[in-house]
Chain A
Amino acid sequence: MDYFIQQLINGITLGGVYALIALGYTMVYGVIQLINFAHGEFFAAGGYMGVILLNWFIGRGYMSTHPMICIGASVVLTMGYCAFLAMGVEKIAYKPLRSASRLAVLLSALGMSIFLQNAMMLTQGVFDKPYPIELAEGSLTVGGITVSYLQVIIVVFTVVLLVGLNLLVFKTRIGMAMRATAQDKVMSSLVAISSNRIISLTFAVGAGLAAAAGIMVGFYYGSVRYDMGFVPGIKAFAAAVLGGIGNITGAMLGGLIIGMVEVFGAGYISGQYKDVFAFIILIAVLYFKPTGIMGENVDDTRV
């Protein structure tokens, strides 16, 4: 029983990370019906930017005097950096193809993914880059179950981001414009919404969330690597499909489920097959319920 609860907690931590990444896929899909295969790279870029900023703060000696501010600033700046990066990627690789076939945009996304991954490899090297500090040491032990403070921080921060996103999308004017653009781009221009700006914003928000996930994974595993975006990216994509691509609540739910399945699968079946479980789910969803858990009216012309 203790083992079960322990895995449950690990599953929630991992699931939260997948959920954050999955949101970027689902939001972009919702607005322009593109699977942004470069999305995983924003997660990796976030992980790297985190190291770079933390090292910079350490080098200046600010970290020892104001650790909380430095870490907070690193997280915020990283999210902002990736948001801008994503807006740039959209402008260069997707916007010129707005009226091209879906396949062309998809290929452009794959190309962008390879480009970004190699750019990270060239500038940051091929080896693992260690996170210079620990976010929180120690852990909480309650009746045989151990929860590290780091896990608590990750889960709390994830929840804050998810709640924040929900407020943005469902309670603000700009969120309403986003939903309108996702539903009917022609009509949204007829009510004075600039779809280009909304698309740009969607990329920015999605990448910001992925960047936050990247930093948290960096802290969690203690290092980052140039190709770290690929596997979590694909798993988060599976999560978005599982939840119903285009559906925000679905992506959160899908992320959580994929995280759980992976952790429980590794814990109870085999650790070596850890990466297989997410894809078994993806295949099963595509086979039995292609619209996902919360998906609606997906017409079969979509990729």
Chain B
Amino acid sequence: MAAEPILELQNVHASYGNIKALKGVSLKVYPGEIVAIIGANGAGKSTTLMTICGIVAVDEGDILYQGRSITKVAAEKLPVMGLCQVPEGRRIFPRLTVHENLELGAFYRRDREGIEKDMQRVYELFPVLKERKRQQGGTLSGGEQQMLAIGRALMSRPKVLLMDEPSLGLAPLIVQKIFDIIHEVNQKEGTTILLVEQNANLALQAAQRGYVLETGRVTMEDEAEKLLHNAEIRKAYLGE
């Protein structure tokens, strides 16, 4: 395994109001990897990502990014450091245009030329977004919104990209396209990806390693290949 993890959770506890959502989650993500977190509804997958991004407060434990603690860093500072999320439900700004949504991805950046270049690249990756450039984000279809959400995240040039349920509610063909892009971003740019999925099959095929989350705890971690062939996993998450 490569030297130091780029992202590490050490015994992280977090809660939503009175509900303890994470009860000691520890995981490591190494540079250049695709890591999957699988688990049932309510296992704490999305909370894990929101906690990493500083939206949900850490009650206990520590989160290290590039070797330094980011537990106390304000959420809006993290994208600047290269930590970026494509959240569950895409969260497109509905009354901003497609183009504006993409521009916001690059909000913290000042390098006009670089932004312009990245914008062209996103439009090449997702030609449909270019066609709909002037349309309001809220008018796009689910698949298009997912593309826009990914495009918006790419505009911030992430080092680590957290993705929450990118396949949710999408037609199989679109899902395939989205996962091709995830693969391409990982391979070409070397972007590290932490992927949360209910579709365990899909996630474990894309990832090198995986974690299984159950009621706020990591219950299993292994190479994705092994998890994919683990009888327990197949029974619990792959519907066998």
Contacts and interface: CB of A to CB of B under 8 A. Distances in A.
A177 B104 CA distance: 7
Contacts of B107: 173, 177, 191-193
Contacts of A100: none
Nearest to A182: B95
Given A180-B104, A184-B91, A186-B55, A192 B76 contact: yes
B217 interface: no
A179 interface: yes
Contact of A183 (B53, B55, B95): B95
Contacts of A183: 93-96
B55 A184 contact: no
A152 B58 CA distance: 58
Contacts of B93: 179-180, 183-184, 187-188
A194 interface: yes
A184 to B, nearest CB: 6
Nearest to B155: A191
Contacts of B85: 190
A176 B55 contact: no
B125 to A, nearest CB: 18
Contacts, number: 63
A158 interface: no
A202 interface: no
A163 to B, nearest CB: 21
A191 B104 contact: yes
B140 to A, nearest CB: 15
A190 B84 contact: yes
B108 A187 contact: no
Contacts of A177: 104, 107
A191 B93 CA distance: 11
Given A180-B93, A183-B93, A184-B93, A195 B100 contact: no
Interface string B59-103: 000000000000000111111100011010001011110001001
Contacts of B94: 183
A121 to B, nearest CB: 40
B152 interface: yes
A189 interface: yes
B166 interface: no
Listed residue (B75, B87, B95) with the most chain A CB atoms within 10 angstroms of its CB: B75
B55 A191 contact: no
A194 B87 CA distance: 18
Interface residues on chain B, size class: 20 to 34
Contacts of B76: 189, 192-195
Interface string A189-213: 1111111000000000000000000
B104 A193 contact: yes
A130 B155 CA distance: 56
A187 B91 contact: yes
A183 B100 CA distance: 13
Nearest to B56: A186
Interface string B140-155: 0000000000001000
Contact of B156 (A176, A179, A180, A191): A191
Given A184-B91, A186-B55, A186-B91, A191 B96 contact: no
A99 to B, nearest CB: 10
A278 to B, nearest CB: 29
Given A176-B104, A180-B104, A190 B95 contact: no
B55 A179 contact: no
Nearest to A184: B91
A180 B96 CA distance: 7
B31 interface: no
A14 B117 CA distance: 49
Contacts of B105: 191
B79 A191 contact: yes
Contact of A192 (B79, B91, B95): B79
A192 B152 contact: no
Given A176-B104, A180-B104, A186-B91, A191 B152 contact: yes
A192 B156 contact: yes
A184 B96 CA distance: 11
A295 to B, nearest CB: 13
A194 B76 CA distance: 6
Contacts of A192: 76-80, 107-108, 156
A55 to B, nearest CB: 43
Contacts of B75: 189-190
A189 B96 contact: no
Interface in B87-140: 87, 91, 93-96, 100, 103-105, 107-108
Interface of B: 53-55, 74-80, 84-85, 87, 91, 93-96, 100, 103-105, 107-108, 152, 156
9 contacts: A173-B103, A177-B107, A179-B95, A187-B87, A189-B53, A189-B76, A191-B107, A191-B156, A192-B156
Given A190-B53, A193-B76, 15 more contacts: A173-B103, A176-B96, A176-B100, A176-B103, A183-B95, A186-B91, A187-B91, A188-B104, A189-B55, A190-B55, A190-B79, A190-B87, A191-B79, A191-B107, A192-B107
